[in-house]
């Protein structure tokens, strides 16, 4: 049964495909709304909203339970989305690496190579600073300046570091350095300038192959190099 509420204080209630009735209602009466955001069903007894397998606390804008995939979903285990009101991915196909690769190569295909974010997407998603800088036009996550094309495997003729999927240690290192820049710089423009210097230094190390993305010591190696 589908109800449509009009400002004329009437409800058109579909009783069937061919039959409707118009009922007077008091607009001051609160209508039960089972859903808040998509896939979040309200539990009125607790005030929480159920999201498939864990609860969402609306006032805090956070989940009450940890993300079951752990750090694979980001450093913040309780996060709902970068921006719960604006961030959307209707088809679940959002691919920052593809956008970055196109920005670097001006093409849609690059066999044997992968686009690498110098400042990773995971870091961006967990950094209010980087999100703020992007809104100000001082940083671009999928911009050419934040990317480098790296080979999927090491071979003769290339000195670049290998890139083959997720690199936790590297991400953790960059997150710590970005946090340090945020806490120890005076203004956003100074922070943006230091981020650019960081990107330049990362590019140099990956281009020469002097630093790896996948060693057991990757996190500390990058921290030592960049600080």
205 is written with which tokens? 């190390």
**Would you state the pLDDT for residue 184?**
96
Instruction: Give tens-digit pLDDT for 202-224.
Output: 999 999 999 999 999 999 999 99
| SS3 assignment, position 64 | coil
Higher-confidence position of 76 and 212: 212
Q: Inter-axis angle of helices 218-226 and 188-208, to 10 degrees? A: 120
Q: Are the CB atoms for 9 and 24 separated by under 8 Å? A: yes
Token look-up 């009783």 returns: 15
3-state secondary structure of 61: coil
SS (HEC) of 171-197: HHHHHHHHHHHHHCCCCHHHHHHHHHH
Residue 29: which pLDDT band, with cuts at 50, 70 and 90? very low
Report percent pLDDT > 90 for the chain. 48
Q: How confident is the model over 107-163, as pLDDT tens digits? A: 888 888 999 999 999 999 999 999 999 999 999 999 999 999 999 988 777 889 999
Percentage of the chain exceeding pLDDT 70: 64
How far, in Å, CA of 195 to CA of 174, rounded?
10
């Amino acid at each position: 049964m589908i109800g449509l509420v009009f400002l004329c204080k009437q409800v058109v209630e579909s009783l069937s495909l061919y039959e409707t009735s118009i009922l007077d209602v008091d607009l001051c009466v609160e209508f039960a709304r089972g859903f808040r955001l998509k896939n979040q069903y309200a539990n009125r007894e607790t005030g929480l909203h159920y999201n498939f397998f864990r609860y969402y606390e609306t006032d805090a804008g956070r989940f009450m339970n940890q993300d079951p995939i752990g750090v694979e979903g980001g450093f913040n285990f309780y996060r709902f989305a970068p921006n719960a009101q604006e961030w959307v991915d209707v088809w679940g196909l959002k691919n920052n690496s593809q956008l970055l690769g196109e920005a670097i190569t001006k093409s849609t295909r690059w066999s044997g190579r992968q686009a690498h974010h110098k400042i990773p997407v995971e870091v961006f998603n967990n950094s209010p600073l980087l999100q703020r800088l992007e809104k100000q036009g001082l940083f671009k996550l999928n911009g050419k300046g934040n990317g480098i094309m790296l080979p999927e495997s090491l071979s003769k003729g290339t000195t670049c570091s290998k890139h083959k999927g997720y690199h936790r240690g590297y991400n953790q290192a960059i997150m710590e350095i970005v946090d340090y820049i945020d806490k120890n710089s005076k203004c956003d423009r100074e922070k943006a300038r230091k981020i650019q210097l960081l990107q330049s230094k990362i590019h140099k190390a990956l281009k020469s192959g002097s630093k790896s993305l996948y060693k057991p010591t990757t996190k500390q190696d990058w921290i030592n190099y960049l600080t």
